[in-house]
Structure 1
């Protein structure tokens, strides 16, 4: 039986995703996505926090508002020393993961334990650390989530002893992609053997590029449900496909090529997640900012500035005073939204934004989606940093988005 929390998540996500009649083809796809989105989707967030930190230019007087997702970026933003961070999310599993990370930062004894828990996330010692240091400080709802059982009967917290980054909708999608690739004689972990970007290019061209010419692979990627594992609802699938004449397989190939070939493996933990299903084990393995040893003390000292809310972004903004917020991170959530919801969101952002406030978001397709959908009188209040946005898009190591967009209040 579905838990009350998962049903609540489904209703909340459905309110954001559903655009068509229930029994129409698109309506059925939307409801299938809502069902898939009830549990954990992102064990790790897939927006590059280093790009975010540069674009946001956070200062010590900033109140940052962000969609929580997997929580990696929420804690990474602490390295910029903001006054406060409010993280909101509709997904109860993401809320539980964020609260677990905050409690772990507060109460695990040292960086070694913190690193083992979230960077390795596959050690039995993590369960003992959870029981000793973290569990006593969790609220009942969060504790009940982690000690509850998943579909295969194991307690969810056991994921941190078995490879947590293989969990969730995205982890399952990556695992399925690995299995399909191996059926065609390609082991994705081969990419991790490359020592230079030049070697990465050779491996991609010889091993991965031909994979996308397979009829079954092309057919599979042309099914909107095939990308639910990336957290992509039907409306975003349509935007991602765009006008590409060769279909979705060409889009996915282009994004994977960027991930594989545009950034050195030594500097891109997103590639390690995609090709290795976890972070690297070595001392020099790339990590998100919140897990780097040099940032540990800052994260621990500032973690009490983080507030986690199970809420819709619009609903949260409606509770805030005029001119009270400084930075907004919307991830790719706007790709899901109707024009009506977009207008409500940007009306609330504009009302609550201080002069010089910054809004950062990503889109599946390349262009910003706001012109023609949000009233011009609202957009006229904002300066779209087009050249900077193109540069951030180019440098975003996650490589899966068509555009990274920055708006600054005039």
Structure 2
């Protein structure tokens, strides 16, 4: 066990504030989505490829990176990339509790024990490791959350891996049961993952799996499934408006890229959901044995905050001075539903950004038209945000083609003045 200081964590009240509720007139789908996401751990891992982020951001020791926490994996990846400081912000305190648990594991466990929890996704020692080593390092809210949820790592029940927990994991396990038990595709999926070459992988996919996976694509495109995956109604409308064939076609095209064009040998995202586990050679950088000591030494540079992006940037003193912003796809969530909130967030970003700061974000759609009406104050005058940003569409498109997740319609890179 190590004696490294804990990462900074914003104190959380005994009953943290609820997530922003749906506005008046929100349809039933939006209310169902809000009900799920107000009360649950949604993401058990990040589903944004940090290899793209590293290439887009060029992270260095002078950088302060702001990232939305999600599963916490990528915040740790940016530390390994050499960021001078990483602030992980999420309005859902359960997502921050997951990152706190990972950070505690890096500090207090051997790599073997740490990998058993977060690599294999299950450990017969989970309760003991939590009680004896991890719990004392957590904030009060995270302690209460994991006191009731550490069983997720025990490897019991039909969801016998942590990567089948949370709402996204529930969906993954359901789809895998459908494909393996009812479609009989288990042996083919296992052979696909073990394919020694991309050519062999492509042959297995195109000859045995492609057409039969279409049924899973249709299931995954249903509103209930998309709610579990963390895709709100606003994003579904973006896809329907901009992507020919809608959500089902987006999922199907993504499967063609993931299994037919990109090598699965290092695609830990899909391996975890297909098998419930990573392997030592196919896993996020934060789980690799060769990075473990370096990550432990970097943890004091991690700051975890339960807040909105706007709240953190506008209420933190002194001003955060952020040089790299990783906004994931959350602007899709706001989109046309909360234009004032979107404008307020971008104003906070402009005010807190270091000169020349870079912003990356993803979208379920092909464009981000909801940014067009946004106006911000900069250098003493009001300007259109889209006039202020210097975009890099060619670089973004090249990186997007290499995305191992391939569940987004587009990837965006922009610089502030």
1:86-126 deviation digits (Å, cap 9, x = unpaired): 11111121121111112222222x32222222111212133
Given the alignment of the two structures, is residue 158 of structure 1 paired with residue 151 of structure 2, yes or no? Answer: yes
1:167-223 deviation digits (Å, cap 9, x = unpaired): 111111111111222423333444323222222222222333223555x974x4553
**Aligned equivalents of 1:199, 1:97: Cα separation in 2:** 37
**Aligned equivalents of 1:381, 1:147: Cα separation in 2:** 47
Query: Where does structure 2 lack aligned partners over 5 or more consecutive residues?
Result: 1-11, 156-160, 376-382
**Aligned equivalents of 1:251, 1:7: Cα separation in 2:** 39
Aligned residue for 1:228? 227
Query: Where does structure 1 lack aligned partners over 5 or more consecutive residues?
Result: 149-155
1:5-404 to structure 2, matched below 5 A, reads 11-14=18-21, 18-19=22-23, 21-22=25-26, 27-37=27-37, 38-108=39-109, 110-148=110-148, 156-162=149-155, 163-181=161-179, 182-187=181-186, 188-211=189-212, 214=215, 218=218, 220=219, 223-280=222-279, 283=280, 285-320=281-316, 324-337=321-334, 338-369=338-369, 371-375=371-375, 376-404=383-411
Deviation at 1:138, TM superposition (A): 2.1
1:260-286 deviation digits (Å, cap 9, x = unpaired): 222212111112023223213xx4x21
TM-score (norm 2): 0.86
**Aligned equivalents of 1:344, 1:243: Cα separation in 2:** 26
Change (3 A) 1:404 1:7: farther
| Conserved 8 A contact 2:192-2:204 | yes
**Aligned equivalents of 2:41, 2:128: Cα separation in 1:** 23
Deviation at 1:44, TM superposition (A): 0.6
Aligned residue for 1:153? none
| Conserved 8 A contact 2:250-2:409 | no
Deviation at 1:54, TM superposition (A): 1.8
Deviation at 1:8, TM superposition (A): 5.3
Deviation at 1:157, TM superposition (A): 0.8
Change (3 A) 1:88 1:213: closer
Task: Name the SS of the counterpart of 1:296 in structure 2.
Answer: helix
Range that drifts further, 310-319 or 180-189: 180-189
**Aligned equivalents of 1:83, 1:382: Cα separation in 2:** 24
| Conserved 8 A contact 2:121-2:276 | no
**Aligned equivalents of 1:42, 1:256: Cα separation in 2:** 20
Deviation at 1:404, TM superposition (A): 1.4
**Aligned equivalents of 1:39, 1:101: Cα separation in 2:** 18
Range that drifts further, 94-103 or 318-327: 318-327
Change (3 A) 1:62 1:183: same
| Conserved 8 A contact 2:242-2:366 | no
**Aligned equivalents of 1:342, 1:294: Cα separation in 2:** 41
Deviation at 1:6, TM superposition (A): 11
Deviation at 1:253, TM superposition (A): 0.8
1:1-59 deviation digits (Å, cap 9, x = unpaired): xxx999856x4143xxx35615xxxx110010111212111111100112112211122
Task: Name the SS of the counterpart of 2:277 in structure 1.
Answer: coil
Change (3 A) 1:203 1:326: same
How many equivalent residue pairs?
A: 386
Change (3 A) 1:138 1:322: closer
Deviation at 1:361, TM superposition (A): 0.9
| Conserved 8 A contact 1:5-1:92 | no
Deviation at 1:63, TM superposition (A): 1.5
| Conserved 8 A contact 1:166-1:278 | no
Deviation at 1:359, TM superposition (A): 0.8
**Aligned equivalents of 1:275, 1:349: Cα separation in 2:** 37
Task: Name the SS of the counterpart of 1:88 in structure 2.
Answer: strand
Q: CA RMSD in A?
A: 2.4
Aligned residue for 1:151? none
Could you list the structure 1 runs, at least 4 aligned residues long, displaced by more than 6 angstroms after superposition: 4-7
**Aligned equivalents of 2:252, 2:131: Cα separation in 1:** 43
